Structure 1
Amino acid sequence: MIAVIFDLDGTLIDSAPDIVANTNAVLQELGLGVLPPAQIKGFIGKGVGHLLHCVLEASGQVPDGPLHAPMQARFNQRYETAFEMTVIYPGVVKALDQLVEMGCALGICTNKPIAPTHAVLRHLGLAEYFPVVYGGDSLAVRKPDPAPLLAAVKDLGRDRVIYVGDSEVDAATADAAKLPFLIYTEGYRKTPVHDLPHDAAFNDFRQLPGLVGNLMKG
């Protein structure tokens, strides 16, 4: 039997508007100017620490200086309820239903901290699909280290596993874990798809069950 493990932000959900709003609100609270949404979106994917490091650097501040800790505390306080503008990508729910009907076990491996991960999954009605969820702070390391993904693989207990994500970090994680990788091309990726290791690419979730089925046959 097969398991399908998903990244979250930029793969199943578009959370960038909330992350941008949350980030700029904290910058204003600290007396700094806001940053363009596209610039902040480019920092998403490697965890909150990396995001805030890049934001402070872009704001002309010392990335690991005295503002980092208070900024992270304020950001995290907001993050668990920062989902007013977050939406599920089109076709995701139907694709998840089809995968369940195919006998697939489903999991999440994201660099989003675990508390806001569970919060947004509950808010969007997706929690019931994923008995196994690993966030960016579930272990001492995060993606692209393969450990969180491999831990999710172990917990799901299936013979074969496919990872689905949208970014450079996801591609590197799947490669390090030596797992087949399907890349969703409408997320937060910056590198051309052909430059990333992947088994197949898709831009519409209606394609996903068929791609998983093909890999199941292989």
Structure 2
Amino acid sequence: MDKVVAFDLDGTLVDSAPDLHGVANAVLAEEGVAPISMAEARSFIGQGAPNFVAKMRAARGIPDSEQARLLAAYLARYDGAVARTVVYPGVAEALTALRAGGARLAICTNKPERPALSVLRHFGLLHFFNAVIGGDSMNLRKPDPAPLLAALARAGSGTRIFVGDSEIDASAARAANVPFLLFTEGYRKSPVADLPHRAAFSDFSQLPDLVQAI
């Protein structure tokens, strides 16, 4: 399998929304304001920690001038926030099958690099990946194609594929001219039909065959 497959992380390999929800509400509690809901937390995920904090702050009427302070407070809790995160069913088996078939794997996430590495280590997934690009690894984040192209290039050579769950991932793949496989059980806000994709799947047992077909 001469393939190089990059994966998004939050909403694709892991459901981290419960931990991000908890981190956000710990920060908001210190500010003496009402917590955000789980639905709000899920809707804020995707464009990186600064954007999450900006949306969280706006939702509770906290002024722009507090962004840097609240982002620092949020990031201080972020690295170890893994207690309520879960790996989606079948992920480890799919990654094992892809690697056994000769594919080289990478992570391209808007999650900051240190928390991304922390989550991958915690769940014993880091060894699957030849490269990890986080939201602060470069000056640009998805949907800009640069982080995705960098992750794929660092992982190796071969047919390039991106696996993700969101509008941002679909846009990055299109901009990079890379086939996109859409995991339908993550954090997307739009109908599946509205996201450009080569194929969609809801069960990771389907993924090795989808990759092989490209």
Please give the TM-score of this superposition, normalised by the length of structure 1: 0.96
- Paired letter, 1:6: F
How far apart are the structure 1 equivalents of 2:27 and 2:38?
A: 14
Deviation at 1:213, TM superposition (A): 1.0
Q: What does residue 16 of structure 2 align with?
A: 15
Q: What does residue 37 of structure 2 align with?
A: 36
Identity in percent:
51
Q: What does residue 71 of structure 2 align with?
A: 72
Q: Deviations over 1:75-129 (max 9, x none)?
A: 1010000000111100000000110111100000000000101111111100100
2:96 counterpart of 1:106? no
Q: Secondary structure at the match of 1:67?
A: helix
Question: How many pairs were matched up?
Answer: 213
Indicate if the aligned counterparts of 2:161 and 2:181 stay in contact, CA closer than 8 A: yes
How far apart are the structure 1 equivalents of 2:68 and 2:156?
A: 38
RMSD: 0.8
Q: What does residue 82 of structure 2 align with?
A: 83
Indicate if the aligned counterparts of 2:5 and 2:152 stay in contact, CA closer than 8 A: no
Q: What does residue 178 of structure 2 align with?
A: 179
Q: Deviations over 1:45-65 (max 9, x none)?
A: 000111111111110222xx2
The equivalences for 1:125-136 within 5 A come to 125-136=124-135
How far apart are the structure 2 equivalents of 1:165 and 1:207?
A: 14
- Paired letter, 1:41: R
- Paired letter, 1:36: S
Deviation at 1:68, TM superposition (A): 1.1
- Paired letter, 2:125: L
Deviation at 1:159, TM superposition (A): 2.4
Q: Tell me which stretches of 4 or more aligned residues in structure 1 moved more than 6 Å.
A: none
The equivalences for 1:1-218 within 5 A come to 1-62=2-63, 65-215=64-214
Q: Secondary structure at the match of 1:164?
A: strand
Alignment gaps of 5+ in structure 2: none
Alignment gaps of 5+ in structure 1: none
Q: Secondary structure at the match of 2:32?
A: coil
Deviation at 1:160, TM superposition (A): 1.1
